[in-house]
Amino acid sequence: MAFTRVVLGWAAVTLLFTLWRTAEQRLQQTPGQPTPTIRAGLLTNAIEGLLLSLFAGLWFGSLGSGGGVLLFFLVGALMEIPSRLRSHPVGSIPWKPALAGIIRIVLAGMVLGLVMGAWPFGR
């Protein structure tokens, strides 16, 4: 897999994560609260996008291309659910934000599959 595809995938996913976080913050914002800047979370989004892009490059470049949606669903669940279990008592996990986080990772996986030249839905 060409390095340029990984870099393009990284840029696309970082943009997706930045737009997602901005929309999420604006939806959760209370009136009178200052609007957070895009630059505030850019480094975090870039690092998360880089790690996910490297993982996707490994998957789509060598291990396989089918089952991308299921794979990124599992990765999203592994990223979202354990952290929420640690920060909330069992039984009171906020499932809507967890599912939104999983959907964010699945969308990122689909974008990476398209940019890296693999169809993420299988063959």
The answer to whether residue 100 sits within a structural domain is: yes
The answer to whether residue 88 sits within a structural domain is: yes
Number of domains in the chain: 1
pTM for the model stands at 0.83
Residue 120 CB-density burial (10 A; 0-12 exposed, 13-18 middle, 19+ buried): buried
Question: What pLDDT is attached to residue 119?
Answer: 64
Question: What pLDDT is attached to residue 6?
Answer: 92
pLDDT digits 0-9 by tens, 42-69 = 899 999 999 999 999 888 887 766 778 8
Cα separations (Å) of 54 from 9, 31, 33, 112? 9, 39, 36, 10
pLDDT digits 0-9 by tens, 68-78 = 888 999 999 99
The answer to whether residue 23 sits within a structural domain is: yes
DSSP 75-104: HHHHHHHHHHHHHS-TT---HHHHHHHHHH
The answer to whether residue 85 sits within a structural domain is: yes
Residue 51 structural domain: 3-115
The answer to whether residue 121 sits within a structural domain is: no
The answer to whether residue 77 sits within a structural domain is: yes
pLDDT digits 0-9 by tens, 14-30 = 999 999 998 888 887 76
pLDDT digits 0-9 by tens, 79-108 = 998 888 888 777 777 888 889 999 999 999
The answer to whether residue 123 sits within a structural domain is: no
The answer to whether residue 60 sits within a structural domain is: yes
